[in-house]
Structure 1
Amino acid sequence: MQPVHLGWLERAGVELALLRLDQVDALICGNKWFKLAPYLKQAADLGLDGVMSLGGAHSNHLHALAAAGARFGFRTVGLLRGEEQDNPTIADLRQLGMQLHWLGYGGYRRRHEPDFWMPWRERYPGLLPVGEGGGGLPGARGCAPLVAQVREQLAGIGWGDYQQLWVACGTGTTLAGLVLGESGAHPLVGALAVPPGHGVEEQLPALLAQAGVEACGYRLIDASRGGFARIDPTLARFILDSEAECGVPLEPLYTGKLLLALHDEVAAGRVARGSRIVAVHTGGLQGRRAMQERLLALAAQRE
């Protein structure tokens, strides 16, 4: 846990601490390890050889999975969105030993269909299929202990309690885990990295229902800036200025958008003076490598 000091927070009388999951591990970092661990145990318990999963060309999830496979000695297969390309993430996946298959865009859109995994199970009978981003109830349960980590570290930063817990949402799995961990003790805010209407609103209640928990205690806000992976000059400038002021590295798809959404909530007066907020830094910094030049160019438009 790291207190973060930014001028706009201090002027509003709001305190913020980040749970720095980006510092968990150099390669298996962020919330990805917490979502993956239950699936890796499941594969081991079933006597399987490894795991196959889905993601985009900059996927933090596939990157963490490939790194875990290389470190712990199990096979990994990645099914990727779009056409074959090269970037720093793809180079890492190959170097880490992940076998890659490019599905195109139409093929990737089929991932939610009931028979999607059938040919891949036949091709790789020794691998456990895991949904995009490590989504699903096992992944959510893997994230539930993060709440205990927050509470255990409060005294270390001089806090007795907090008023809200924030996290960015891609599939909603991490937020579902935090709902399980909080058990109604604190309000949760999910900052949507994908625009509303792309499934998170339905997936969250479904995940919680599987866990036997009522879908309550959280609210969702649109932090997507109009689309997943969409970066505009305002976001780019905000990220670079925030990094310069507080020293915490950010990425533009999740934590950067979360902090800008929090800024906008504070500016609109929807966060009470005196509030203490914990936000989860979900990692993803490896994916920023291919975006740095674009980020700088966009930020320059705001100067």
Structure 2
Amino acid sequence: MGPFDWLPHAPLEPLKLDWLNGVELAVLRLDRIDPLISGNKWFKLTEHLAQARAIGAKGVISLGGAYSNHLHALAAAGKRFDFLTVGLLRGHPQETPTVLDLKTFGMQLHWLGYGGYRARHEPGFWLPWREQYPHLHPVPEGGGGLAGALGCGVLVEQARGQLSNLGWADYDAWWLAAGTGTTLAGLVLAEAGAHPVYGAMAVPNDHGVARNVSALVQGGYELLETSRGGFAKVDPLLLDFIQHTEHACGLQLEPLYTGKALLALKQQIEAGRFTPGTRLIFIHTGGLQGRRGFP
């Protein structure tokens, strides 16, 4: 199942913004790899799909919310590459633009409520779903775990292969949004200590990102709490920053992940965290379909 020879290429582009103060910034455009299977989600899925193929599964079952980028990419991949998908959703039935897409892509949906979704980390959570769908391979929320992290390691190779296009011989660090920390862990594994990775957390400290990452890697990264009051919380400063950035350089952002991450970088540069001449790679993790949840 699945096109295991499909490896989308993310372009690395310079980003010119008036607040960089001499810091050189390039963005790895995962939002441009595909119209539907967008962002870091495909890379996190590749190893999970390989595991599914190895056990002869006919498809994948996973979890997410009503605007989940992960479920959106998974369902789109299932439709394009002809494997079954089932989504376990947080909350109660609603027809968001994302949910309508999931149905169009052919994903079978089950709504767990909020208490039922909170139980996803409890022992035995997957047992009834394995019994109901014995032919499907379960994938953690967001495509997490070691398999998800290993799939993201190729991003380091893709970025390094394009440095000469920028006139760079090397770079100093990575900067990206962190929702579960899986992509960050994958970068740390691939870097093997060569360059640090900074994760701007889209969720508060108590959401387990630090625990997720420390279970996969030891050192080589730093997490910053940049949720601005909680997951999916927005404020006028953030929305104004996103609008200004789009007008300034044409880079589309969304307010849950990439908008918060880039705003946090701006604040760190203004605080003197990075000196002029520092070369940073910012990962655009996609998720633009989620913009439909905001006015």
How high is the TM-score relative to the length of structure 2?
A: 0.95
Amino acid at match of 1:6: L
Matched with 1:296 is none
23, 34, 41: which one pairs with 1:25? 34
Deviation at 1:202, TM superposition (A): 1.1
Deviation at 1:189, TM superposition (A): 0.3
Aligned counterparts of 2:258 and 2:293: Cα–Cα separation in 1: 17
Count residues with an aligned counterpart: 284
1:151-202, Cα deviation, whole Å (9 max, x unpaired):
1110011111111111111111000000011111111101101111211111
Aligned counterparts of 2:278 and 2:206: Cα–Cα separation in 1: 30
Matched with 1:50 is 59
Deviation at 1:204, TM superposition (A): 0.7
Q: Once the two structures are aligned, what percentage of the paired residues are identical? A: 63
Deviation at 1:290, TM superposition (A): 2.3
Aligned counterparts of 2:72 and 2:206: Cα–Cα separation in 1: 27
- The 5 Å alignment of 1:47-126 reads 47-126=56-135
7, 16, 25: which one pairs with 1:5? 16
Aligned counterparts of 2:142 and 2:117: Cα–Cα separation in 1: 14
Aligned counterparts of 2:176 and 2:189: Cα–Cα separation in 1: 14
Matched with 1:207 is 216
- The 5 Å alignment of 1:233-244 reads 233-244=236-247
246, 255, 280: which one pairs with 2:283? 280
Amino acid at match of 2:245: S
**3-state SS of paired residue (1:25):** coil
Aligned counterparts of 2:206 and 2:293: Cα–Cα separation in 1: 28
**3-state SS of paired residue (2:272):** coil
1:23-58, Cα deviation, whole Å (9 max, x unpaired):
111111100000001111111121111000000000
Amino acid at match of 1:251: E
Deviation at 1:84, TM superposition (A): 0.6
1:217-275, Cα deviation, whole Å (9 max, x unpaired):
11111111110111111100000000110101111111111100000001111111111
Is 1:156 the counterpart of 2:148? The answer is no
Aligned counterparts of 1:155 and 1:136: Cα–Cα separation in 2: 33
Aligned counterparts of 2:131 and 2:216: Cα–Cα separation in 1: 27
Aligned counterparts of 1:25 and 1:279: Cα–Cα separation in 2: 19
Is 1:179 the counterpart of 2:182? The answer is no
Matched with 1:35 is 44
Greater helix content? 1
Matched with 2:5 is none
- The 5 Å alignment of 1:191-202 reads 191-202=200-211
Structure 2 gaps of 5+ residues are 1-11
Amino acid at match of 2:274: V
Matched with 1:298 is none
How high is the TM-score relative to the length of structure 1?
A: 0.93
Aligned counterparts of 2:161 and 2:194: Cα–Cα separation in 1: 15
Is 1:267 the counterpart of 2:276? The answer is no
Amino acid at match of 1:268: A
Aligned counterparts of 2:251 and 2:273: Cα–Cα separation in 1: 25
133, 146, 149: which one pairs with 2:155? 146
Structure 1 gaps of 5+ residues are 209-214, 294-303
Aligned counterparts of 1:186 and 1:261: Cα–Cα separation in 2: 20
Deviation at 1:145, TM superposition (A): 1.3
Aligned counterparts of 2:14 and 2:108: Cα–Cα separation in 1: 40
